[in-house]
Amino acid sequence: MNRHDTIRLAMLPTPFERLPRLASALGDNGRAPSIWIKRDDCTGFAGGGNKARKLEYLVADALKHGADMLVTMGAIQSNHARQTAAAAARQGLGCLLLLTDSVANRGEAYRTNGNWLLDGIFGAEIRLLAASEDGAATAEEAMAGLAAQGRRPYFIPVGGSNALGSLAYRDALLELAAQAKDEGCRIDRILLPTGSGGTHAGILAGVEQAGLPWRVHGISVSRSSEQARAIVSGLVQEIYGLEDRRRDAMSALEIDDSRVGPGYGQPTAEMIEAVQLVARTEGILLDPVYTGKAMAGLLSLVRTGAIGPDETVVFWHTGGAPGLFAYPEVFQR
C-alpha cells in the first residue's frame, strides 16, 4: 500500500509546532517538559481533523470497488461522519449516516448544531438511531436495502478504524518523524486521544516500522483501558497482515482510562480546564469529546511528574473543534 492507492483530501504535511506558553503555564522556572503539537486539526478538509487521512485510503478503495454510496456510523456529533459526508460530496457519491443518540443529558444544541448541522450541509442522508438499537444489525440491514435498490454501497466502520484506514496514521507517523528531524526535536513520547483505535494503531505501527524509541500514550475517551488495548492491538496486527509484513517487536501499549469521566461525550471539569487553558495560552481550539480529555490527561501527567521536565512530548491534535458548538452550555460564562 502506498500513496498511489489514495485520493487527495487532506492538506499535508500538517504543522508541527512548539507550545511554549502552555509549557510555561505548567512549570515554574522551566520545570515543565518541552511540549509540541501535531496539528491534524489543520488537515483543511471539511473543518479539519484526523479522519481526512483515513478517508483518503477508504474512499479510494470504495471507488476501486465501483461504489456509488458511502455508509458509516457514529454518534450524533461524530467528526468522522461529518468528514465522510464531505468526502462523498467531493467524489459525487451518495452518503448515508447512521447516527446513534447515545450521549445522554445534552442540550438542544447537541442535536441541532456542530457536526449534525454540517452533515446536512454536506448533503448526507441521516438516520437517527436510539441508544438501545443494535447499530451493527441496522448497518447490515441498510446495506442490504441499498443493494436491493440497485445501489452499490461501501461500508466504512466507526471512525474509519479498520486496517486500511489505520494505515494512514502509519504514514502520518513517518511524516512526523521527518518533521522532528528537520526541527532537531528529540521526541520521547506521543500522547493522543484513543477512541475507535485506528489513529493510535497506525501511529504505533509507524513507530515500530521506523524503529523509534518513542512511547505512544493513549488517553481513552470512551472505554476501559483493557478494552481499548484489545482494540488497538488487534488493529496493529491487522495493519501488518494487510501488508503481509512480519511484526518482529511489540511496542508497549499504554492507554489511560482515567479521563473518560461519566462516559463518551460527557463533559468533565478537567476537560473544560484543558480546552480553556490551551485556547488562552496558545490560541488553539481543542474539542470536548476527544482532544479536550486527552489534553486533560497530559496536564495531569505533567503536574504529577509522570512526564518529567527533561522529556519532550508531542500532543497529537486529532481535530473536532466543530463539536464545541454542540456544547455551548458547558463553556458559556
230 grid coordinates: 484489545
Distance CA 45, CA 47 (A): 6
Q: Where are the beta strands (DSSP E) in the chain?
A: 16-18, 34-39, 69-75, 94-101, 125-130, 153-156, 189-194, 215-220, 254-256, 312-317
What does the DSSP assignment read for 163-202? HHHHHHHHHHHHHHHHHHHHHT----EEEEEESSSHHHHH
Distance CA 278, CA 234 (A): 33
Bridge partners of 16, per DSSP, are 38
Q: Cite the active site residues.
A: 78
Distance CA 225, CA 223 (A): 7
Distance CA 57, CA 68 (A): 16
Which DSSP letter does residue 154 get?
E
Q: At how many degrees (to 10) do helices 114-121 and 79-91 cross? A: 10
